[in-house]
Structure 1
Amino acid sequence: MPNLPTLLTQFLHGHSVLSLAVSCEDLPWSSNAFYALDEEGGRLLFLGSPDTRHGAMLSRNPHVAGCVSDQFSDLTQIHGLQYAGVARRLDLPADAAAALDLYYRRFPQARGMTAPVWEIRLLHLKFTDNRVTFGAKTLWSRHEPDHQ
């Protein structure tokens, strides 16, 4: 797996909420979640109940997409990240413990929550940054050499 570009890791560490788009049986749904970035594993970690609509849909179709961004009124300041990946609930105690440790370091107030931890194994990232030039893109793919 190619390393995540520094620009992308800095952006992801600087934000805390992702949008999560899921679908099942031709029905789409989206939600938001707090996340922690695992740079080494190339994944985003979040807590979520399997009883939610998105949790139930993820159990049937693990393919996800989403974005991380702010709201901007000045077009030249727009910058944000889109992602695609595969989600799974971390049920093995060792996998869950390591992920929760990372998540709790980011969000200590979440200790004691009973929702399971999930990972989104990132497959593709696209960072758009109009601050550089209108439409400037940085691309990353888990299975392809680094490219800009």
Structure 2
Amino acid sequence: METLAAINRWLAKQHVVSWCVANRGELWCATAFYVYDAQKVAFYILSEDHTRHSQMTGLQANVAGTVNGQPKTVALIRGIQFTGEIRRLEGEESEALRAQYNRRFPVARMLTAPLWEIRLHELKFTDNTLGFGKKLHWIRDSCTQ
């Protein structure tokens, strides 16, 4: 749990996630602002249904992606690589999380894009501030919601 706590602290300070989705041999990536839920170990993003990545996702799909900072020196590199599953949220579940998203990113109130959840299955956190090449790993188990 200490590993996940360290990852959660870092993810809470970031705000942009990039992810890739594959469908019928085609691969596409996207980037969005996110809200991170440490208890569910999930990102919440907005994306229009007409985008290429949303069309490829359908109602849900497997994804892989990254969250990283932009340090000027190798010694300060920190970043996440992940796998997970993305799905479009609907109804009450979407409304409650959308309110949270709008609080973090007030400009989102003007957007009509649906909310999506990226439920993380595996995380690898590279943190060179703990020593060059230091990696922390987390994998969702059946006990994690």
Alignment partner, residue 7 of structure 2? 8
CA distance in 1, matches of 2:143, 2:60: 27
CA distance in 2, matches of 1:77, 1:38: 25
After superposition, residues 65-144 of structure 1 pair within 5 angstroms as: 65-91=64-90, 93-143=91-141
Structure 1 unmatched ranges of 5 or more? none
Cα RMSD of the aligned pairs, angstroms, is: 2.1
Does the 8 Å contact 2:19/2:66 carry over to 1?
yes
Does the 8 Å contact 2:75/2:132 carry over to 1?
yes
1:5-29 Cα shifts (integer Å, max 9, x gaps) = 2211111111110111111111111
Query: Secondary structure of 1:80's partner?
Result: strand
Greater percentage in helix: 2
Alignment partner, residue 43 of structure 2? 44
Q: Figure out how many residues of one structure are paired with residues of the other and give that number.
A: 144
1:69-119 Cα shifts (integer Å, max 9, x gaps) = 02234221111011110010002x111112112211211221131000000
Structure 2 unmatched ranges of 5 or more? none
* Alignment-mate amino acid for residue 108 of structure 1: P
* Alignment-mate amino acid for residue 34 of structure 2: Y
CA distance in 2, matches of 1:49, 1:3: 36
* Alignment-mate amino acid for residue 82 of structure 1: Q
Paired-residue identity, % = 37
Give the TM-score of the pair, scaled to structure 1.
Answer: 0.89
Give the TM-score of the pair, scaled to structure 2.
Answer: 0.90
